[in-house]
Amino acid sequence: MHDAMTLTGRCLCGAVALEVQASRQNIGACHCQMCRTWGGGPLLALESVSSVRLEGEDSVSVFASSDWAERAFCRHCGTHLFYRLKTGEHYAVPAGLVDVGQAWTFDSQIFIDEKPPWYAFANDTRNLTGREVFEAFQRGDD
């Protein structure tokens, strides 16, 4: 699918609903230590998100997880809602939050240099180290 998609999802308790605009059906995995701590494993997320609209914003907590990014979650049930750059130029939305059976393409893994050795994905993906990720964002790559 090459047209923009509108996807919707809700947190576990239903206090927060979101509508996501995505330009591609691609999923990426982030293996950084923060994502693995945040979710107990790699973050599998939509990476081509152009906008996120929230309902129930009073139930959303945002945590500044680094100098450049923040993570949002429902303050009632803890559901992860998104990771975003503080500049607002990039969102990553957990795939399971909006998945209703789309034919996703798992095509990238980032912070591959921080991936622990006890798991590996079989998909043929573009793999970037942490340094390569930061360089790509500085250049404005998607």
Rg from Cα positions in the chain:
15
Domain residues of the chain, as ranges?
5-139
**Tokens (6 digits) for 36:** 């693995």
- pTM score of the predicted model: 0.90
Domain 5-139 has CATH 2.170.150.70: yes
Q: How far apart are CA 85 and CA 90, in angstroms?
A: 6
- pLDDT tens for the chain, residues 1 to 142: 456 889 999 999 999 999 999 998 899 999 999 999 999 999 999 988 988 999 999 999 999 999 989 999 999 999 999 999 998 778 999 999 997 878 899 999 999 999 999 999 999 999 999 999 989 877 766 5
What are the DSSP E strand ranges found in 42-88?
43-55, 60-63, 69-74, 80-85
